[in-house]
Amino acid sequence: MSALWTSAEIAAATGGTASADFDVSGVTFDSREVGGGDLFVAMPGTVHDGHDFLDQAIASGAAGLLVSKPCDHPHVLVDDVARALEALGKAARARSGATIIGVTGSVGKTSTKEALYAALDRWQPGAVHRSVKSYNNHTGVPLSLARLPREAKFAVLEMGMNNKGEIATLTRFVRPHVALITTIAPAHIENLGSEEAIADAKAEIFEGLEPEGIAVIPNDSPHRDRLVRAARRHAERIVTFGTGDADVHALHAVRAERGGSLITAALLDSDITFTISQRGEHWVWNALAVLTAVEAVGGDLALAGLALADLGGLKGRGERHRILLDGGEALVIDESYNANPASMAATLKSFGAEGGIDRRIAVLGPMRELGDHARQLHADLAPAVLDARVEELVLVGDDMRPLEDALGDSIHVTRASDADAAADAVERLLRPGDAVLVKASNSIGLAQVVERLTREDA
């Protein structure tokens, strides 16, 4: 396999000057992630400047540096490192012959991206690229593109936003052949003001579609028609997924013996029966979205079904841990990475359907970027909590008071000031046979609760 980039190619793409000849096999802007052969991009920052970590990057094995200040190590010198990374991402996209799938949505975009990657990689092992983590913003997308191997046949790239116009910029970097929207929900409503505005912002993904591009749209969204109208201006073909008259829809979906779901889906050209290992109705829709995209690019649907069956829990997004206690074990479900009203409701519904447990304990923290709607949207979670048959509820932070007030005396609530206090509360409550759900926006830091509980993972 050829080098990801040569120093000459980096210089040509960025308009920079190479100090020496070198090849790189990877790209990163996080000095903690540098591996052998990487290009370390010395990004400026509000807290740290990447130029302060050049020696550390080289010591960790970096083959070269992308810098705006001269240094003694092999490097490419540019005027603006951030713009140079964007240019490198554009150059990677321009040279690539890969089929590109862009993914966005208010809920489930990272999970769907990972599932779609697994489905395509089962069919074309080693030939599929994806954005890692949630690298989906103005720096993450160019980085993900810059990492795109020249031999890749497929790439799955996630795009996120907080404001209008952000996805429009990102999709013109990515230039997808297939643009997929998972769902529309009131995430980032603080900045955008309404779900309609959120739908419009997500629909910007269609603006970057390549000629003969395909738009994949959730049929069950109340904003379906709005998304379809936006897609018509840019897409050669529109495919919907979901229920009812969706182009790709579930004929039936039932709970599988070991959790997850057994699904029979009607695709465009055939029917398929498969299982998914992930629990919850929302994962049925994620799976349908994945199969729609796989069919759109001519992939192997049977292998995609197998990949969905084998897909393990994703860290912070449904990963499951069995922990040993005196006299038995308990289940911890890690949903700590993100939260908005739609994902909270879906996760609680799945939690309520969890079998083989004695008691349900939910650790819930605030949902961010809801603006003036925050109090009401937190209070509106009360029916979902009750329907999930939660016996013990740990609420983290003052922003959860509206939910506590809405629940009244219907459930026992323990209030916690932060993640450490929440972990203390769960450790006092926990007993064999319990299941613990941990969910909040990532900035709340409830991953610490999971880490505390799972230190002695079974």
DSSP string of 352-378, one letter each residue = HT--S-SEEEEEE-PPPS-GGGHHHHH
SS3 content of the chain, % helix, strand, coil (to 5): 40, 25, 35
pLDDT at residue 142, rounded to an integer: 97
pLDDT at residue 258, rounded to an integer: 66
DSSP string of 42-55, one letter each residue = ----SS--GGGGHH
Closest to 181 in 3D by CA, of 219, 211, 134: 219
Q: How confident is the model at residue 254 (pLDDT cuts 50, 70, 90)?
A: confident
Establish whether 111 is an annotated binding residue.
Answer: yes
| CA within 13 Å, CB half, 126 | 2
Establish whether 61 is an annotated binding residue.
Answer: no
Write the CA distances from 170 to 64, 116, 289, integer angstroms. Answer: 26, 20, 21
pLDDT in tens, 350-409: 899 888 899 999 999 999 888 888 999 999 999 999 999 999 999 999 999 999 999 999
pLDDT in tens, 18-76: 999 999 999 999 999 999 999 999 999 878 899 999 999 999 999 999 999 999 999 99
Alpha carbon distance 458, 454 (integer Å): 8
Summary mean pLDDT of the chain: 92
DSSP code, position 82: H
pLDDT in tens, 384-399: 999 999 999 999 999 9
Write the CA distances from 331 to 74, 394, 411, 423, integer angstroms. Answer: 50, 16, 21, 15
The domains found in the chain, sorted by start residue, are 5-79 (3.40.1390.10), 96-310 (3.40.1190.10), 319-453 (3.90.190.20)
Alpha carbon distance 174, 197 (integer Å): 22
CB 138 within 8 A of CB 83: no
Other CB atoms within a 10 A radius of the CB of residue 17 amount to 12
The token pair at 394 is: 């740990």
pLDDT at residue 456, rounded to an integer: 56
Q: How confident is the model at residue 179 (pLDDT cuts 50, 70, 90)?
A: very high
- Helix 81-95 with 7-14: angle, nearest 10 deg: 110
CB 41 within 8 A of CB 29: yes
Establish whether 60 is an annotated binding residue.
Answer: no
Establish whether 131 is an annotated binding residue.
Answer: no
| CA within 13 Å, CB half, 50 | 23
Establish whether 292 is an annotated binding residue.
Answer: no
pLDDT in tens, 118-138: 999 999 999 999 998 778 899
Is pLDDT of 457 > 50?
no
CB 426 within 8 A of CB 453: yes
pLDDT in tens, 303-333: 999 999 888 766 777 888 999 999 899 999 9
